[in-house]
């Protein structure tokens, strides 16, 4: 079983978000970065599948040198090797194209990643990778087992869940409860030191998206209590102040 796990390098969930350069660039100053939580689930399941079936895990990140501590953590958790595509992840298509190129040269059975990143939350990359490679992509995957050449998985759908059997290779966008997050142990951290982290130049690709600017959501306003007898006032406020209709 040859598994590729794509990881994002994203701000910790408690980070304060701000922008610079006329609100066109995310301000990374003082921000703690982590493995994307959904990618972390994908990695945890990959480690379990490797324990069960044997094989190897390659971690992949598209990012500049600053992402290497995050990649090392993936190695400490259980990836055997890593690739960093040395480029700013410009948009979903750019990242998907980089991943697809790596997969073409690698003969992977499973390409796992989170169902979405938690910085831009696009949730597009797994679908694009599947399309670029002409293989099935499924998301959001909550359970994943492998039997022979078949992936048995369950997927969250509107109002229920869908059970699927898909022939490998596949791309899966993962979410809980596919596995429990793994905390790297001391031995894993030590061994990560000597695992290979290969840096590759980006595969050429056009940038399809340009950020014009970011806008912070409006601050939450206070709660107004309206007397139960005063429905007219409530309707008026909803219409003219909150403008919900």
Partner 1 sequence: MSKTSSSPSHQMTSNHQDHFESPDYYQLDDLLSEEHLMIRASIRDFVKKEITPFIEGWAEKNHFPSEIVSKFGMIGAFGPTVPVQYGGGGLDYISYGLIMQEIERGDSGMRSTASVQGSLVMYPIYTYGSEEQKQKFLPKLASGEMLGCFGLTEPNHGSNPSGMETRFEDKGDHYLLNGAKMWISNAPHADIAVVWAKDEKGRIHGLIVERGMEGFTTPETHGKWSLRASCTGELVFSDVKVPKENLLQGKTGLGAPMQCLDSARYGIAWGAIGAAMDCYDAARRYSLERIQFGKPIGSFQLIQKKLAEMLTEITKAQLLNWKLGLLMEQGKATTPQISMAKRNSVEVALNVAREARQIHGGMGITGEFPMMRHMMNLESVVTYEGTHDIHLLILGADITGINAFS
Q: Judged by CB under 8 A, which of 3, 5, 43, 76 binds partner 1?
A: 76
Identify whether the C-beta of residue 111 lies closer than 8 Å to the C-beta of residue 103. Answer: yes
Return left, alpha or beta for 88; rule: phi > 0 is left, psi -120 to 50 is alpha, else beta. Answer: beta
What SS3 class is residue 138? strand
Which of these, 164, 175, 157, lies nearest to 37 by C-alpha position? 175
Mention every residue, 6+ apart, whose C-beta is less than 8 A from residue 5. 39, 42, 43, 46, 57, 58, 59, 60, 74, 79, 112, 113
Q: Judged by CB under 8 A, which of 72, 90, 97, 155 binds partner 1?
A: 72
The Cα–Cα gap between 180 and 71 comes to: 19
* By CB under 8 A, residue 29 contacts partner 1: no
Q: Judged by CB under 8 A, which of 3, 5, 34, 95 binds partner 1?
A: 34
Say which DSSP state 5 is in: E
Q: Judged by CB under 8 A, which of 9, 45, 50, 73 binds partner 1?
A: 73
174-213 positions binding partner 1, by CB under 8 A: 180-181, 183-187, 189-190, 192-193
Radius of gyration of the chain (CA): 21
107-166 positions binding partner 1, by CB under 8 A: 118
* By CB under 8 A, residue 25 contacts partner 1: no
The Cα–Cα gap between 14 and 17 comes to: 9
Query: Residue 10 CB, nearest distance to partner 1 (Å)?
Result: 11
Identify whether the C-beta of residue 45 lies closer than 8 Å to the C-beta of residue 174. Answer: yes
Cβ proximity to partner 1: between 135 and 178 the closer is 178
Cβ proximity to partner 1: between 114 and 169 the closer is 114
Cβ proximity to partner 1: between 74 and 85 the closer is 74
Q: Which stretch binds partner 1 (CB under 8 A): 32-40, 159-167, 207-215, 217-225?
A: 32-40
* By CB under 8 A, residue 66 contacts partner 1: no
Q: Which stretch binds partner 1 (CB under 8 A): 9-17, 51-59, 148-156, 197-205?
A: 9-17
Residues that bind partner 1 (CB under 8 A): 12-14, 34, 37, 40, 68-69, 72-73, 76, 118, 180-181, 183-187, 189-190, 192-193
């Amino acid at each position: 079983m040859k598994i590729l796990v794509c990881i994002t390098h994203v701000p910790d969930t408690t980070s304060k978000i701000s922008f610079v350069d006329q609100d066109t660039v995310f301000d990374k100053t003082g921000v703690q970065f982590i493995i994307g939580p959904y990618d972390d689930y994908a990695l945890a399941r990959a480690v379990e599948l490797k324990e069960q079936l044997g094989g190897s895990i390659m971690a992949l990140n598209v990012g500049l040198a600053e992402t290497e501590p995050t990649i090392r953590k993936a190695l400490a958790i259980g990836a055997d090797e890593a690739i960093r595509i040395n480029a700013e992840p410009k948009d979903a298509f750019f990242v998907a194209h980089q991943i697809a190129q790596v997969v073409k040269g690698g003969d992977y059975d499973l390409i796992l990643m989170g169902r979405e990143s938690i910085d831009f939350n696009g949730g597009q990359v797994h679908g694009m990778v599947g399309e670029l490679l002409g293989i099935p992509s499924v998301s959001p995957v909550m359970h994943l087992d492998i039997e022979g050449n078949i992936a048995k998985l369950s997927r969250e759908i509107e109002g229920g869940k869908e059970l699927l059997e898909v022939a490998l290779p596949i791309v899966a966008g993962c979410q809980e409860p596919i596995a429990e997050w793994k905390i790297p142990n001391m031995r894993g951290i030590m061994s990560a030191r000597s695992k290979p982290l290969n840096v590759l130049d980006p595969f050429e690709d056009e940038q399809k998206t340009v950020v014009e600017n970011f806008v912070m959501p409006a601050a939450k306003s206070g709660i107004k209590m309206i007397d139960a007898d005063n429905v007219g006032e409530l309707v008026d406020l909803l219409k003219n102040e909150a403008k919900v209709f």
